[in-house]
């Protein structure tokens, strides 16, 4: 539909004759061969795609809207036609320039990415070594995909563009196999198990404050129902924070956390929540607790009472210990509250991490790079002085494992910020004591092969 | 210069194309006839506010949670739920049409442009509304709050000088134009004066509307849309 509409527009645009026809491609030789047949014509007409300035016939190749397009320059600021505005851009060479950009959004966006694609493909982008339909090499050495210089081929537009820095696509794997059943008992302070196995759920809240009617009940219900139904059911779940989105002065936080706990009740195992910024004021920089900048909010009170109360915790930071039934390994789970940070918590964390265990898991809402949260940088400094296996975080509504020991699980029902789906993670101990970490789609129950990874007890990667 | 393309102008593409996709006739009937043939399933009954709305980006007035019209999640070009998530809520009072536009976003980027500039070059919402007389209106706004608006009648040139008089306020949960950290979301609270849309306050009216949100990220740009009609509920509580 979009291509059809663009085709219609293209005819009108070209028949009207644009002032800058020399580089729009209307009845001219057009920009270099980066624009191929099948591209959305109006997009090409108004925004000729490019790889270098050489493609632009007097204009510059500008980075605009996540892509690169030819645009005429406007060094004096008054050269643009009425339908364009002289705007500062960065060129593909990294230089700053002023160019005439269309005021309207006439530069086409690629279609949504396919969720199941091979490893050398990222959505519609095909890497240099895979055959694709681009033909933009000119006199340059040509790659298999028809581009040159390391560029990727966008098969939606048959033109070359910068390689993706990240590819959010999911590679659907097999259903989760957690091994055999786990025996043992987990209470409010931990317990003993035949094998370490636990779930991770993160970030469950509506998009807008106080919008309890839009709480993602169906999603969090499905997550805990699926956890309960796993053949190898984790004996406990840790969560990475943010269970509500409410103003601090009303009762909506309590209502929303109530909805969460109703969903959590669909799962028979133990539940250990970390505190998120929304359990303070909602602001990432907020700090709650007695004597803190934001004090005791309704959100904070609801979290302590409704989520930590059932496990007998009175502070937003705490520790549980889980050990092998045969005493062959030990583990500690250290729940940090960076939005209730204090010198007291810092001292507690230092002491907690000083105790030697086979595995150490730090559960904290904000990732290491979210330093606006008061306790992130200080807790990272303390963690750096001690061994640990994984830092389990949330805050971003997706899931990631970059290099290092931080794993982000924030896809528990809050509006997704990336292209991945809702779900939960499971950490499973292998006979060699390494841990595997999988993400399970809440709807399909399938794992994400691209996310799957394994670590040794010291957090170093292993196969 | 402008390119007079009537329904074919690029600004009309999203609305015309999407409404056609949803079986809502547009090109061969008068605006009122088109509205009359629309499927009720694409219609949102928009309630009148009970209290004042302050356009501050917070969208925390009770009306926003009591029973606003909700679009639900926008959809992508593949028909699946668009990622990242975008959705909208809609209200009206005697002066304005209000929209609360939600955008989940890990990396919030704004085009560095002046008013009426190419807001679309960064993360942006575009609201496209057709007046009862068939005039098309496009209002784009990004996370910096800069508005770019235009209007045109069928067969007439696009008027980029048209000013909607819309007011936008942004609530940003993250850091603008800083890719070093991960952001959460940005929300636009938008008030569009009814006179700009050619709608008399209190009139029984159904407005064809298309909402589009595009997210600029490291790998390119991805968009989601919602299209349908807004029916202003004149009988709803005030």
Domain ranges (residues) in chain A = 2-102, 112-166, 172-462
Averaged over B105-115, what is the pLDDT?
93
Task: Tell me what the pLDDT averaged over chain A comes to.
Answer: 85
Averaged over B35-63, what is the pLDDT?
81
Q: Which helix (H) or strand (E) holds A327?
A: none
Averaged over B78-89, what is the pLDDT?
91
3 state SS of A102: strand
pLDDT band at A326, cuts 50/70/90? very high
CA distance A257 to A243: 6
Question: Hunting for tokens 């790889």 — which residue is that?
Answer: A51
Which residues, in sequence order, are CB contacts of A273 under 8 Å at separation 6+?
Answer: A238, A239, A241, A243, A303, A307, A308, A335
The confidence score (pLDDT) of residue A166 equals 54
B 113-152: CB under 8 A from A: 113-114, 116-118, 120-122, 124, 126, 138, 140, 148, 150
The confidence score (pLDDT) of residue A7 equals 25
pLDDT digits (tens, 9 = 90+) for A229-283: 999 999 999 999 999 999 998 999 999 999 999 999 999 999 999 999 999 999 9
B 24-53: CB under 8 A from A: none
The percent of residues in chain A predicted with pLDDT above 70, rounded, is 84
Averaged over A78-89, what is the pLDDT?
92
The helix, strand and coil proportions of chain A, stated in percent and rounded to the nearest 5, come to 20, 25, 55
Sheet with A84-91, side-by-side order of all strands: A67-71, A60-64, A84-91, A96-102
End-to-end Cα spacing for chain B = 45
Sign of CA dihedral A25, A30, A36, A37: positive
The β-bridge relationship of strands B124-130 and B206-217 is antiparallel
Q: Which fold has domain A172-462?
A: Purple Acid Phosphatase; chain A, domain 2 (3.60.21)
CA distance B36 to B29: 10
The confidence score (pLDDT) of residue A16 equals 27
Residue A392's nearest CA partner among A382, A379, A406 is A406
3 state SS of B82: coil
Which of the four CATH numbers 3.40.50.2020, 3.40.50.1220, 2.60.40.1190, 3.40.50.2300 does domain B6-233 have? 2.60.40.1190
pLDDT digits (tens, 9 = 90+) for A401-426: 987 899 999 999 999 998 899 999 99
Could you give the C-alpha distances from B205 to A141, B35, B133, in angstroms and in order?
Answer: 60, 9, 11
Model pTM above 0.95: no
The confidence score (pLDDT) of residue B1 equals 25
Task: Tell me what the pLDDT averaged over chain B comes to.
Answer: 82
Residue A160, beta-bridge partner list: A153
Residue B104 has pLDDT above 70, yes or no: yes
The confidence score (pLDDT) of residue A189 equals 98
The confidence score (pLDDT) of residue A29 equals 24
Residue B68 has pLDDT above 60, yes or no: yes
CA-only gyration radius of chain B, Å: 17
Residue A361, beta-bridge partner list: A333, A390
End-to-end Cα spacing for chain A = 46
pLDDT digits (tens, 9 = 90+) for A129-156: 777 888 877 777 788 888 877 777 777 6
CB atoms A16 and B148 under 8 Å: no
CB A164 within 8 A of CB B218: yes
The confidence score (pLDDT) of residue A9 equals 27
CA distance A160 to A34: 6
CA distance B52 to B61: 8
CB atoms A83 and B158 under 8 Å: yes
Averaged over A370-393, what is the pLDDT?
97
From chain A, pick out residues whose CB is under 8 angstroms from the CB of B121: 64-65, 87, 89, 101
Residue A18 has pLDDT above 70, yes or no: no
The confidence score (pLDDT) of residue A327 equals 97
How far does B122 lie from chain A, in Å, by closest CA?
Answer: 5
Averaged over A388-398, what is the pLDDT?
97
pLDDT band at A347, cuts 50/70/90? very high
pLDDT band at A177, cuts 50/70/90? confident
CA distance A308 to A270: 12
Averaged over B204-226, what is the pLDDT?
89
Instruction: Write the secondary structure of A387-451 as one string of H (helix), E (strand) and C (coil).
Output: CCCEEEECCCCCEEECCCCEEEECCCCCCCCCCCCCEEEEEEECCCCCEEEEEEECCCCEEECCC
Identify the closest residue of chain B to A64 by CA–CA distance: B121
The confidence score (pLDDT) of residue A235 equals 98
CB atoms A165 and B218 under 8 Å: yes
Of the candidate ranges A15-29, A131-145, A383-397, the one whose mean pLDDT is the lowest: A15-29
- ipTM of predicted assembly, 2 dp: 0.80
CB atoms B218 and A105 under 8 Å: no
CA distance A184 to A191: 7
Averaged over B5-20, what is the pLDDT?
39
The confidence score (pLDDT) of residue A136 equals 77
Tokens found for residue B37: 């043939």
Interface check B2 vs A, CB under 8 A: yes
pLDDT band at A10, cuts 50/70/90? very low
CA distance B147 to A73: 23
Phi, psi of B117 (to 5 degrees): -90, -175
The confidence score (pLDDT) of residue B20 equals 38
The confidence score (pLDDT) of residue A112 equals 37
Interface test with B, best of A6, A49, A109 (most B CBs within 10 A): A109
CA distance B27 to B25: 6
Residue B166 has pLDDT above 50, yes or no: yes
CB pairs under 8 A between A and B: 221
CB atoms A46 and B10 under 8 Å: yes
Tokens found for residue B49: 């506010």
pLDDT digits (tens, 9 = 90+) for A178-207: 888 899 999 999 999 999 999 999 999 999
From chain B, pick out residues whose CB is under 8 angstroms from the CB of A369: 180-182
């Amino acid at each position: 539909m979009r291509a059809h509409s663009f085709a219609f527009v293209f005819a009108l645009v070209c028949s009207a004759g644009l002032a800058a026809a020399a580089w729009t491609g209307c009845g001219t030789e057009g920009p270099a061969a980066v624009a191929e047949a099948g591209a959305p014509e109006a997009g090409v007409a108004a925004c000729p795609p490019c790889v270098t300035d050489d493609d632009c016939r007097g204009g510059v190749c500008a980075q605009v809207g996540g892509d690169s397009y030819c645009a005429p320059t406007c060094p004096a600021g008054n050269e643009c036609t009425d339908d364009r505005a002289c705007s500062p851009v960065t060129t593909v060479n990294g230089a700053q320039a002023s160019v005439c950009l269309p005021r309207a959004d006439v530069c086409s966006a690629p279609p949504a990415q396919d969720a199941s694609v091979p490893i050398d493909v990222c959505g519609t982008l095909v890497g240099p070594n895979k055959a694709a339909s681009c033909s933009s090499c000119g006199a340059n050495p040509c790659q298999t995909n028809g581009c040159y210089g390391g560029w990727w081929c966008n098969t939606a537009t048959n033109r070359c563009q910068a390689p993706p820095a990240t590819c959010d696509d999911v590679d659907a794997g097999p259903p989760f196999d957690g091994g055999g059943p786990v025996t043992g008992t987990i209470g409010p302070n931990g317990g003993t198990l035949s094998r370490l196995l636990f779930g991770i759920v993160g970030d469950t809240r509506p998009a807008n404050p106080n919008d309890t009617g839009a709480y993602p009940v169906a999603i969090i219900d499905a997550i805990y129902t699926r956890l309960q139904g796993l053949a190898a059911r984790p004996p406990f779940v840790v969560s990475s924070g943010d269970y509500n989105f409410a103003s601090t002065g009303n009762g909506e936080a309590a209502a929303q956390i109530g909805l969460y706990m109703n969903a959590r009740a669909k799962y028979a195992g133990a539940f250990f929540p970390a505190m998120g910024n929304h359990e303070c004021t909602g602001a990432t920089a907020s700090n709650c607790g007695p004597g803190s900048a934001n004090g005791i909010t309704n959100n904070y009170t609801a979290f302590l009472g409704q989520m930590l109360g059932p496990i007998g915790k009175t502070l937003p930071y705490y520790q549980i210990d889980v050990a092998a039934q045969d005493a062959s390994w030990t583990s500690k789970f250290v729940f940090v509250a960076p939005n209730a940070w204090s010198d007291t918590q810092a001292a507690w964390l230092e002491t907690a991490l000083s105790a030697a265990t086979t595995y150490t898991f730090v559960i904290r809402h904000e990732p290491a790079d979210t330093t606006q949260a008061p306790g992130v940088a200080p807790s990272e400094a303390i963690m750096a002085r001690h061994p640990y296996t994984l830092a389990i975080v949330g805050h971003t509504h997706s899931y990631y494992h970059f290099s290092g020991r931080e794993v982000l699980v924030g896809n528990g029902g809050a509006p997704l910020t990336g292209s991945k789906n809702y779900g939960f993670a499971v950490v499973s101990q292998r006979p060699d004591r390494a841990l595997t970490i999988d993400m399970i789609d809440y709807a399909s129950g399938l794992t994400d092969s691209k996310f799957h990874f394994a670590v040794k007890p010291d957090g170093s990667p292993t196969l | 210069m402008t390119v007079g393309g009537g329904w074919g102008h690029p600004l009309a593409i999203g609305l015309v194309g999407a409404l056609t996709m949803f079986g809502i006739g547009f090109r061969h009937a008068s605006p009122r006839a088109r509205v009359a043939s629309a499927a009720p399933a694409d219609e949102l009954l928009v309630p009148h506010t009970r209290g004042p709305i302050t356009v501050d980006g917070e969208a925390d007035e009770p009306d926003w949670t009591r029973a606003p019209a909700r679009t639900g999640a926008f959809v992508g070009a593949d028909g699946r739920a668009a990622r990242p998530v975008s959705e909208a809520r809609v209200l009206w009072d005697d002066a304005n049409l209000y929209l609360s536009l939600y955008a989940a976003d890990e990396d919030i980027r704004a085009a560095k442009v002046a008013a009426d500039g190419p807001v679309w070059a960064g993360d942006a919402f575009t609201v496209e509304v057709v007046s009862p007389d068939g005039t098309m209106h496009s209002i784009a706004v990004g996370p910096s709050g800069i508005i770019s608006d235009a209007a045109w009648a069928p067969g007439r040139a696009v008027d980029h000088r048209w000013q909607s008089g819309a007011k936008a306020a942004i609530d940003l949960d993250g850091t603008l134009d800083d890719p070093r950290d991960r952001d959460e979301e940005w929300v636009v609270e938008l008030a569009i004066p009814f006179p700009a849309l050619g709608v008399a306050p209190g009139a029984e009216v159904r407005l064809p509307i298309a909402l589009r949100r595009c997210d600029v990220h490291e790998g390119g740009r991805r968009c989601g849309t919602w299209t349908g009609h807004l029916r202003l509920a004149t009988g709803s509580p005030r």
